[in-house]
Amino acid sequence: MADPDSVDELPLPDHQRRIKRSRLLFVGPWVLVLLALVLLVWEVVRGNLSTELRTHWPWRLVLLDLESASGLLAIGSGVFFARAQYAEAVRPIVGWLGRIDPNPSEMTCDPTWQVTLVNGGSHTATLLKPRYLAVPAGGMPDGQQVRWCDFETVRAQLTALGLRMGHHFDLAYIGDGAPLMSATGGQTSYIGSFTREFTEAVEQLYIRIRVRDVAGDTHERVLSCLRGAGLQFAAEAERERRQAP
Is the model more confident about 5 or about 109?
Answer: 5
Backbone angles phi, psi at 177, to 5 degrees: 95, 5
Mean per-residue pLDDT, 227-244: 85
Q: How many CB atoms neighbour CB 187 within 10 A?
A: 14
Residues 98-137 have pLDDT tens digits of 999 876 566 666 789 999 999 999 899 999 999 999 999 9
| Domain 93-243 sits in CATH 3.30.300 | no
Beta strands in the chain (DSSP E): 17-20, 94-101, 112-119, 125-136, 169-171, 179-180, 189-194, 202-212, 218-224
Q: Which amino acid is at 212?
A: R
Q: Does this model's pTM top 0.95?
A: no
pLDDT per residue over 57-93, tens digit each?
887 887 788 888 888 888 888 888 888 899 999 999 9
Q: Which residue, among 127, 125, 121, has the nearest Cα to 183 in the 3D structure?
A: 121
Instruction: Identify the CA nearest to 25 among candidates 93, 71, 70, 90.
Output: 90
- The highest-confidence range among 76-85, 135-144, 233-242, by mean pLDDT, is 76-85
Residue extents of the structural domains in the chain: 23-89, 93-243
The pLDDT, as a whole number, for residue 156 is 96
Angle at 112 between CA 107 and CA 116, to 5 degrees: 100
Cis peptide upstream of residue 11 (ω within 30 degrees of 0): yes
pLDDT at 2 over 80: no
Percentage of the chain modeled with pLDDT above 90 = 47
